[in-house]
Structure 1
Amino acid sequence: MSFGFVAFHYPAPEHLEEFIGHCHEVAEASRAQPGFLSVGVWVTPDGEAVVTTGAFESEEAFRAAAEVGREMGATPDGLSDLEVKPRQVHFLVSR
């Protein structure tokens, strides 16, 4: 059973490109983690939200990769200095 997430982030317009760049850095680090399956960085057409997605072989693999993300300043909850409102994170389990 795979474990994944989809997260909606709301960066301030003046920080959109910086935020997207940081998301790509975290995505690249995720690719090197054991149990990695996929990652994506998307932007809504209006530019108001950045949507990140990821899938791992297990919840344990995701948690280990998330720790690497935390070390890079990315957290699945809370609000970064670049965001104007808290992100929305949904965890997923394949069935």
Structure 2
Amino acid sequence: MSFGFVAYHYPRPEHVEEFVGRCHRVRAVLLPQPGFLRAEVWVTPEGDAVVTTGEFASRQAFERAFAAVLREAAEAVVFDEREVRPRLVHTLLSR
């Protein structure tokens, strides 16, 4: 059973492209991690949200991979004034 997530991020309009770049930085750190399967970065047609999705072989692989993100790219995941509201994150289990 794989483990995944969908995260909704709400950057200020003037920071959307910068935020997309931050998400791609996180993806670059995830790529070589054991158990990482895929991640994608999406932007709503209105440009009001950046949506990231990810899939891992297991919850443990997810936890290890994001520990690497915190070590190698913490600046890319910090919540700050560039976002207009808190992120909404859902974790998922395949069936």
Query: After TM superposition, is the score higher than 0.5?
Result: yes
Residue 11 of structure 1 corresponds to which residue in structure 2?
11
Q: What secondary structure is seen at the aligned counterpart in 1 of 2:23?
A: helix
Residue 30 of structure 1 corresponds to which residue in structure 2?
30
CA distance in structure 2 between the aligned counterparts of 1:45 and 1:10, rounded to whole angstroms: 13
Residue 52 of structure 1 corresponds to which residue in structure 2?
52
Which 5+ residue runs of structure 1 have no aligned equivalent?
none
Which 5+ residue runs of structure 2 have no aligned equivalent?
none
| Count of residues paired in the alignment | 92
Query: Do the aligned partners of residues 7 and 65 (structure 1) sit closer, same or farther apart at CA in structure 2, a change above 3 Å counting?
Result: same
Mean Cα deviation higher: 79-88 or 52-61? 79-88
Q: What secondary structure is seen at the aligned counterpart in 2 of 1:32?
A: coil
Q: TM-score, normalised by structure 1?
A: 0.91
Q: Which amino acid aligns with 1:5?
A: F
Residue 82 of structure 2 corresponds to which residue in structure 1?
82
CA distance in structure 2 between the aligned counterparts of 1:23 and 1:94, rounded to whole angstroms: 23
- Taking only the aligned residue pairs, the percentage that are identical comes to 55
Residue 43 of structure 2 corresponds to which residue in structure 1?
43
